[in-house]
Amino acid sequence: MRDGLNAQETTLTLANVNSTQFGKVGFDSVDGKVDAEPLFLADVNAGGSTRNVLYVATEHDSVYAFDADTGAQIWKTSVLGSGETTSDDRGCGQVGPEIGITATPVIDRKQGANGAIYVVAMSKDSSGNYHHRLHALDITTGSEISGSPTEIGATYPGNGDGSSGGTNTFDPKMYKERAALLLSGGNIYLGWSSHCDFSPYTGWVMAYSESTLKQTAVLNLTPNGGDGSIWMSGDGIAADAAGNLFLLDANGKFDTTLDANGFPSNGDFGNSILKLAVSPGKISVADYFVQYNTISASGADLDLGAGGIVLLPDVTDSAGATRHLLVGGGKDQNLYIADRDNLGKFNAGGSDNSNLYQELPSVGNIFSTPAFFNGVLYLGTVGSPLRAYPITNGKLATSPSSQTAISFAYPGTSPAVSANGTQNGIVWGLESHTSAPAVLHAYDATDLSKELYNSKQAAGGRDAFGNGNKFITPLVVNGKVYIGTPNGVAVFGLLGK
């Protein structure tokens, strides 16, 4: 659902998250930038004992396992091939100075002998060729599971940007995997983005079997056009209970000529909210929404898909009907709320988005992922406060019920929420400056004007943890808050624990 919520947090409360009782309790150093969100597992038999484990992937193509309670390193694995280095930044400052593991991994505790963590790693060999590989590592030892890794490649019919002879071929040097990995129905799903807007590129979605690491399906979202990256600010493709996939696609070719079913005539879905259906060996577009002014928006680089997507729990509208909604947005400053059962398609020849379930205009540039808790959406846009938007009768409030006193500079903030059921809700937001000290904030979920804590409050820089990274969501679990930084993971918790 990508809702940013841990509703099983029993240690951190509204009463004890303050600068007297809470602060930085550790720092796990690693060999590169931590652009992927750290992951946590409880009760893992690793390193000779059962413990809680924090998994950290770096842009130096390393994966670490740390004892989540003591900070002791359990294992470290490099996923670089023999004679290889990490990729250079490809002349694009979005990820640098090296590109290794950018996307948040995914874990299946039931895969392999002990459980597996899946990562996508980019590298460069001694001949100057670039590679992307999907790795499956044993969660207890860090060793490659049988069949791992697999080289990532793909072809798809079409005459899109960079194609030849009616075939689009995935060129590894032109892409990076930034969107978090998704595990659904036994498949690992990958969504690819370009380096800046450097052509030629098109919009690729790929599926790999989690058990064999063999490719099971490929979809190109702009097969006869160009562009169409899957950015989503590091958020991942989402999945509903039925296995449908949902994502935001960035600016790119959209065919305004529609077929009899209202779909783009040449299969180009740039700048769209997408619902994908999955069947054996195939991924296909089941439904979509695109703005009425999508052509001019794409031309002005106003990506609908610059931010992340959240699938909301079922809500009831004013007529008593159950609605299955999603929210997302991007550079055009509008927040889109779509009905997952009828996204709305394209209002051909129209002058508005009346085909959409709901739209909140002018909320700000969205380079972040909202969070959802207890009927409220928390959204942090660029240069704005973190704001709370309640849902009533199936519709999002058009103005916030509360907001933070401070504003969050670019890229805004992707909040996380911790709670014990519906009690002790805390919204965690990060000022994640890349060239200035990062700051962790904690707010009362019922009123964002009530700040519980920030990491600048304690005297003597006690809780300082260095500069931030561009797209980082705090991981809040088991009484701790973990934050990726340019050289490790800062650990916050109750002092003296």
φ, ψ of residue 174 to 5 degrees: the values are: -90, 0
Quote the pLDDT of residue 496: 87
Rounded average pLDDT over 343-362: 96
Say how far apart CA 474 and CA 481 lie, in whole Å: 6
Give per-residue pLDDT as tens, 82-132.
Answer: 999 999 999 999 999 999 999 999 999 999 999 999 999 999 999 999 999
| DSSP 3-state of 185 | coil
Report the percent of the chain where pLDDT is more than 90: 98
Give per-residue pLDDT as tens, 425-471.
Answer: 999 999 998 889 999 999 999 999 999 999 999 999 999 999 999 88
Q: Does pLDDT of 20 surpass 90?
A: yes
| DSSP 3-state of 377 | strand
Beta bridge partners of 204: 220
Give per-residue pLDDT as tens, 210-261.
Answer: 999 999 999 999 999 999 999 999 999 999 999 999 999 999 999 999 999 9
Say how far apart CA 474 and CA 17 lie, in whole Å: 15
- The two beta strands, 402-403 and 416-420, are unpaired
Say how far apart CA 215 and CA 323 lie, in whole Å: 34
Say how far apart CA 163 and CA 481 lie, in whole Å: 45
Quote the pLDDT of residue 57: 98
The structure tokens listed for 172 are 């590894």
Rounded average pLDDT over 373-379: 98
Quote the pLDDT of residue 434: 85
Q: Please give the mean pLDDT across all residues of the chain.
A: 97
Contact 384, 431 (CB under 8 A): no
End-to-end CA distance of the chain: 32
The structure tokens listed for 374 are 């207890």
- The two beta strands, 282-290 and 272-279, are antiparallel
Say how far apart CA 34 and CA 55 lie, in whole Å: 11
Element (H, E) at 294: helix 294-299
Quote the pLDDT of residue 470: 86
Q: Of the candidates 149, 153, 137, which has an alpha carbon nearest to the alpha carbon of residue 192? A: 153
CA-CA-CA-CA dihedral for 251, 257, 260, 264, to nearest 10: -20
Q: Does pLDDT of 497 surpass 80?
A: no
Say how far apart CA 262 and CA 108 lie, in whole Å: 38
Q: What is the DSSP letter of 318?
A: T
Count CB-CB contacts under 10 A for residue 406: 16
The structure tokens listed for 216 are 């099971």
Quote the pLDDT of residue 69: 95
Q: Of the candidates 485, 475, 480, 492, which has an alpha carbon nearest to the alpha carbon of residue 4? A: 475
Q: Does pLDDT of 67 surpass 80?
A: yes
CATH T-level assignment (fold) for domain 5-494: Methanol Dehydrogenase; Chain A (2.140.10)
Say how far apart CA 180 and CA 102 lie, in whole Å: 8
- The two beta strands, 215-220 and 439-444, are unpaired
Q: What is the DSSP letter of 297?
A: H
Rounded average pLDDT over 45-50: 93
Give per-residue pLDDT as tens, 148-205.
Answer: 999 999 999 999 999 999 999 999 999 999 999 999 999 999 999 999 999 999 999 9
Q: Of the candidates 70, 273, 104, which has an alpha carbon nearest to the alpha carbon of residue 177? A: 104
Dump the DSSP string for 161-173: TT-BTTEEE--GG
CA-CA-CA-CA dihedral for 94, 100, 104, 108, to nearest 10: 160
Cis amide linkage into residue 370, ω under 30° from 0: no
Contact 190, 247 (CB under 8 A): no
Higher pLDDT, 469 or 30: 30
Contact 68, 40 (CB under 8 A): yes
Beta strands in 324-381 (DSSP E): 325-329, 335-339, 345-346, 358-360, 371-373, 376-380
Angle at 47 between CA 41 and CA 50, to 5 degrees: 50
The structure tokens listed for 496 are 């003296």
